[in-house]
Structure 1
Amino acid sequence: MQHDAENGGQGPGAEDLPPPPTPADLLEVGQSVASQAEVFLNSLMRPWNAYQIAIALGVFMVAVGLRWVFGPRMHDWMRTKTGWPRWRLKVLVVIHKRLRMIFFVALIWAAVLIMREITWPSRSYMLGIIANLATAWLVVALATRLIANPFVRQVVRYGAWIWITLTILGLTEETVAILEGMAIDLGEMRLSVWLAIQAIVMLGVLIYIARFLTKTTSERVSRNEDLSPSLRVLIVKVLQIAFYGIAVFVGLRAAGVDLTGLAVLSGAIGIGLGFGLQKVVSNLVSGVIILLDKSIKPGDVISLGDTFGWINSLGARYVSITTRDGKEYLIPNEDLITNQVVNWSHSNEYVRLDIYFGTAYHDDPHQVRKIAIEAAKKVDRVLDFRPPVCHIVGFGDSSVDYILRFWIMDPTGGLTNIRGNVYLALWDAFQENGISIPFPQREVKVLEGSQLQTSQAEFGKAAE
C-alpha cells in the first residue's frame, strides 16, 4: 500500500518490478534452451519417437493424396453453386485452400487415439504434440481470414503461429527472458524487444477495436437526419481522433511504456510545426473552422476561381470537389477560408440565372418580352412559382438588348446546360413569331466626286 500511495495509486513502483536480466542470466537461459534442444534431438533417435515421426509423415502423405483426389472434385462442385450467398462461397473457398491441412488434422488425431488405445501414452506423446500444433495452426489460419488487410493478416497469422508453437513446446519463459535481455536504455526507460512486441500487439488490438467503434458510430451518425451534413462530418472526425488517441495511450500504458518522455517529443513536434508545418496546421485549423461555421457541406455546389463543382467530402486537409467534366479537385481548406467562394446552395437551393440577347429595332419590344418569358417557362428545371422576367437593358448599335432572368432549384444538375436549353427555346420561339436576331452591319458610302480604283495586280491577287 505504501508503494501505491507513492505512485499515485496507479500500481507498483519501479522498485517492485523484477530487475533486468544480466548477461550471466541470459547465458544461463541460452544454455538451458540448448540443453533442452539436445534432449529433444536425442529423443528423436529413440525407436518409439522415430516411428511416431514416421507415422506423422505417412499421415501427411495420405493427406496430400486426399487433397489431390478430392480437391478438383470440390472445385468443380463449387462452380455449380452460383446461386449461393457470397459469404457461403467464401467459406467454401477458404476450406478448399486448407483442405490438405484439414485432412492432416483429422487423420493425425485419429492416429493419436488409435495409438493411445493399443500402446502406452508415452509412445504417442510426440504424435500428440504434432496434432496440437497442426490443430492450432489450422485454427489460426482460418480465424485470420477475417482480417481484410493482407499485410496485417500475415503478421497476425505468423505471430500467432510462433507464440502457440512456443507455448505448446513449453519454451515461452526462456523466449521471454531472451527477448528481455535484448534491450537498450533510453535515459531512465529501458526498451527491450519483448516490451516492443507487447506494445505492438496491444496497439494493434486496441487500434482495431477503435477502428470498429469509429466505423460503427460513424454509420449511425451519418444516418441521423436531424444533424446537418457538416456537423456529421465534425462528429465523425472528433470520434476518430478520440478513439485512436485513447487506443494509443492505453496501449502504451498497458505495455509498460513510460510516457513521461513524450514531453520532450511534444516539444520537438512544436518546433517542427513552427518551422515546417505551418501550411499543414493552417489547413487543419481551417478544416475545423469550416465544419464549425457550416459555410460549406457535402453536396453543396460552389465556385472557387475557375473551378465549379459540387463537394464530395470534407477532409482534414482538403475539400474534394468534382466538376461537371468528371475532374476531382482537392482544394486546401485554407483557400476556402481566405478566398472568395460562391456557394450556390448555402442557405437554400434556389439559384437565379441571367442570359442576354438582342432583337432587331423593327420588332415590337412588348411582344419580344412576352415571347421570351413564355419560351423560358417551357424549359424543364425552370421554376413556375418564381416566373421568369425579361427587361430591356439598352439600345445597342444594331439591336435592342434584353436580359432574361429565371430561377432553378437544382444547381447540382449544371448551369451551362440549362442556359443552353433556354437559348434554344428562345431561338425556336423567335423563329415561329418572326423575331429576328440582328448582327452588326456596316454601310460604305462613296462620296460624290470620289473614285474607287483597284490595280490590276491587286485584282489578280484578290481573284486568287
Structure 2
Amino acid sequence: MPGPEELAALGRDLLGQAATFLETLLRPWNAYQLGIALALLLAAWILRQVFGDRIRAWMGTREGWPTWRMRVLVVVHRRLMGIFFVALVWTTVWIMREVTWPSRSYLLTVVAELATAWLFVALTTRLIRSAILRMVVRYGAWIYVTLAILNIRDEAARLLDGIGVSFGGMRLSLLLVVQAAVVVAALVIGARLLSRATAARIQSNADISPSMQVLIVKLTQLGLYGLAIFVGLRATGIDLTGLAVLSGAIGVGLGFGLQKVVSNLVSGVIILLDKSIKPGDVISLGDTFGWIETLGARYASVVTRDGKEYLIPNEDLITGQVVNWSHSNEFVRLDLFFGTAYANDPHEVRRIAVEAAKGVRRVLHDKPPVCHIVGFGDSSVDYILRFWIRDPTEGLTNIRGNVYLALWDAFKANGITIPFPQREVTVLDSAARAAVAD
C-alpha cells in the first residue's frame, strides 16, 4: 500500500505528464494534427447528415428480416458518426505515414486508437439491457482503455490503490472496488447470455411441463448469477469471510422486514413443484377470472378477457381458494337454468333444449348435453341444461350467451313459451270496500 508521500508523488507525476501533453499540443505539427482531427470530426458529422436518413429509409424497406439483424442495424445507425470518423482518421493516418515522417502522425494515431476503442466499447455494451449496468461498464471501459492507450495505467492504478479504508483484517481500496465492479459486471453479462440460451433450450423441450420449465429456468438463473457474483468478488481478491458477521446481522434485519417477500418466493417454488398452477391455466380467484400469463418469483400474472392484467401474489394462490378450470384436463361443464310454461310437454322441452345446445359451436358432442327438470315453480316448470366445453380460455360468458340464444330460437320455432310471473288485481266497489273495512 503506497504511503501519503508516494501518493503525493504519483499525483504530481500525473499532473506533470498532463502539463507536458498540453505543451506538446502547441508545437506546430501537433497543432496541425489536432486541426486535422477536428476537420475529420466535422467531415464525419457531414457524412452522418447526408447518409443517415438514406440508411434509415433503407432499413424501413427490410421487411421480413430477423429481429436481431434489425437491432444490429439500429445500433450501427446510432453510431454512424463514430464509424465514419474512425474510417476517416485511420485513412488519414495511413496516408500521412506514407508521405511524411511517422512522428508527424503520432497524435493522429493516438486519436485513432482512442476513437476505435471508444466505438468498440459503445457497440459491445449495447448487449447489456440494464441501463445502469450498461452505463457503469461503458464508462469504466472507456476510462480503462484511455489510460492504457495514454500509457498512464500503472500510475493511475497505484493512485487508486492508495485510496481506501480498512476494517477488520480486510482493506478495501478504490482500485479494488473498480476492479470488482468491472469483473462482476462482465461475469453477470456472461451469466445473462448463458441463462437466456439455456432458457431457450429448456422452453423448446416439449417433454418438460410448463411449470417445470419455469422452475428450471429460475433455478438456473439464480445459480448462474450467484456464481458470477461470487467468482467475480473472489477473483478481485475480496475476502468474503470478513463480511460474514456483517452479512449475518443484515440478514436478520432483512428477515423481519421481508417476511412477505420471502413467503411469496417460497410459495412460488411450491407452486412450480406441485404443478397446481402453470402458465396457460384458466383460474378463478375471487372476482378475478382469467388465464395465467406468467409465473414470477413473487407474483403470478393473470390476464382477464377484457385485457386487464392482475399481479396476484404467490402467497394468495397457496392460502386462498383457487378454481383451476384446466388443472387436470381442459373439460369444463357449464349449467344453464330456464323455465317453460306448464302447458308445454316437458319431454319435448328437454329434447328441443338438448338439440339446440348441440348446434352451438364449442359445445362438445362426445360429452352430449343433458337437460333435467329441477322443480315446479309458481309460474313455470324449471329446468337445468348442462353441457361441456374444452376451451375455457375462449371465454365462458360468450358460450353461455350463445346457448341461451339457441334456446330462444328453438323455443320460438316450436311454440315453447317462456312464462313470466302474472298477478290478478281485483277492484272492489264501495259496498264491498265497506264490508271489508267492517
Report the TM-score, using the length of structure 2 for normalisation: 0.90
Please state if 1:425 is matched with 2:401.
no
Which residue is 2:90 aligned to?
A: 106
Q: CA deviation at 1:278?
A: 1.5
Q: CA deviation at 1:54?
A: 1.6
Q: What is the CA–CA distance in structure 2 between the aligned matches of 1:124 and 1:325, rounded to whole Å?
A: 67
Q: What is the CA–CA distance in structure 1 between the aligned matches of 2:239 and 2:313, rounded to whole Å?
A: 37
Counterpart amino acid of 2:52? Answer: H
Which residue is 1:55 aligned to?
A: 33
Q: What is the CA–CA distance in structure 1 between the aligned matches of 2:287 and 2:244, rounded to whole Å?
A: 46
- Assess, with a 3 A threshold, how the Cα gap between structure 1 residues 92 and 320 changes in structure 2: closer, same or farther: closer
Three-state SS of the structure 2 residue aligned to 1:398 is coil
Residue deviations 1:124-150, cap 9 Å, x none?
Answer: 444443343333334334444444555
Q: CA deviation at 1:34?
A: 3.2
Counterpart amino acid of 1:283? Answer: N
Q: What is the CA–CA distance in structure 1 between the aligned matches of 2:17 and 2:132, rounded to whole Å?
A: 34
Greater CA drift, 85-94 or 103-112: 85-94
Preserved contact between residue 296 and residue 346 of structure 1 (Cα < 8 Å): yes
Q: What is the CA–CA distance in structure 2 between the aligned matches of 1:268 and 1:331, rounded to whole Å?
A: 31
Q: CA deviation at 1:22?
A: 1.4
Which residue is 1:256 aligned to?
A: 237
Q: What is the CA–CA distance in structure 1 between the aligned matches of 2:304 and 2:410, rounded to whole Å?
A: 32
- Assess, with a 3 A threshold, how the Cα gap between structure 1 residues 451 and 180 changes in structure 2: closer, same or farther: same
Paired residues, number: 427
Q: What is the CA–CA distance in structure 1 between the aligned matches of 2:137 and 2:402, rounded to whole Å?
A: 60
Q: What is the CA–CA distance in structure 1 between the aligned matches of 2:202 and 2:323, rounded to whole Å?
A: 28
Residue deviations 1:375-419, cap 9 Å, x none?
Answer: 111111110011111111111111111111111111111111111
Q: What is the CA–CA distance in structure 2 between the aligned matches of 1:138 and 1:344, rounded to whole Å?
A: 54
Which residue is 1:393 aligned to?
A: 374
- Assess, with a 3 A threshold, how the Cα gap between structure 1 residues 112 and 155 changes in structure 2: closer, same or farther: farther
Q: What is the CA–CA distance in structure 1 between the aligned matches of 2:105 and 2:59, rounded to whole Å?
A: 42
Counterpart amino acid of 1:54? Answer: Y
Mapping for residues 52-451 of structure 1, pairs under 5 Å: 52-65=30-43, 67-68=45-46, 70-75=47-52, 77-78=54-55, 79-80=57-58, 82-84=60-62, 85=65, 87=70, 89-90=73-74, 93-94=77-78, 96-114=80-98, 118-119=100-101, 121-445=102-426, 451=432
Preserved contact between residue 44 and residue 81 of structure 2 (Cα < 8 Å): no
Q: CA deviation at 1:33?
A: 2.3
Q: What is the CA–CA distance in structure 1 between the aligned matches of 2:76 and 2:14, rounded to whole Å?
A: 42
Which residue is 1:16 aligned to?
A: none
Counterpart amino acid of 1:36? Answer: Q
Q: What is the CA–CA distance in structure 2 between the aligned matches of 1:53 and 1:145, rounded to whole Å?
A: 35
Q: CA deviation at 1:152?
A: 4.0
Q: What is the CA–CA distance in structure 2 between the aligned matches of 1:93 and 1:146, rounded to whole Å?
A: 16
Q: CA deviation at 1:261?
A: 3.3
- Assess, with a 3 A threshold, how the Cα gap between structure 1 residues 179 and 63 changes in structure 2: closer, same or farther: closer
Three-state SS of the structure 2 residue aligned to 1:331 is strand
Residue deviations 1:224-263, cap 9 Å, x none?
Answer: 1111111111111111111111011111111111101342
Three-state SS of the structure 1 residue aligned to 2:337 is strand
The alignment yields a C-alpha RMSD, in angstroms, of 2.5
Counterpart amino acid of 1:293? Answer: D
Which runs of 5 or more structure 1 residues have no equivalent in the other structure?
1-19, 454-464
Counterpart amino acid of 2:28? Answer: A
Three-state SS of the structure 1 residue aligned to 2:375 is strand
- Assess, with a 3 A threshold, how the Cα gap between structure 1 residues 32 and 321 changes in structure 2: closer, same or farther: same
Residue deviations 1:299-349, cap 9 Å, x none?
Answer: 111111111111111111111111111111111111111111111111011
Preserved contact between residue 377 and residue 383 of structure 1 (Cα < 8 Å): yes
- Assess, with a 3 A threshold, how the Cα gap between structure 1 residues 327 and 320 changes in structure 2: closer, same or farther: same
- Assess, with a 3 A threshold, how the Cα gap between structure 1 residues 334 and 450 changes in structure 2: closer, same or farther: farther
- Assess, with a 3 A threshold, how the Cα gap between structure 1 residues 422 and 179 changes in structure 2: closer, same or farther: same
Q: CA deviation at 1:164?
A: 1.6
Which residue is 2:18 aligned to?
A: 37
- Assess, with a 3 A threshold, how the Cα gap between structure 1 residues 89 and 339 changes in structure 2: closer, same or farther: closer
Counterpart amino acid of 1:276? Answer: G
Q: CA deviation at 1:281?
A: 1.3
Q: What is the CA–CA distance in structure 2 between the aligned matches of 1:316 and 1:274, rounded to whole Å?
A: 17
Counterpart amino acid of 2:336? Answer: I
Preserved contact between residue 290 and residue 304 of structure 2 (Cα < 8 Å): yes
Preserved contact between residue 359 and residue 401 of structure 1 (Cα < 8 Å): yes
Bigger radius of gyration: 1
Which runs of 5 or more structure 2 residues have no equivalent in the other structure?
none
Residue deviations 1:161-181, cap 9 Å, x none?
Answer: 221221122211110111011
Q: What is the CA–CA distance in structure 2 between the aligned matches of 1:185 and 1:299, rounded to whole Å?
A: 54
Percent identity between matched residues is 59
Greater CA drift, 340-349 or 95-104: 95-104
Q: CA deviation at 1:58?
A: 2.8
Which residue is 1:11 aligned to?
A: none
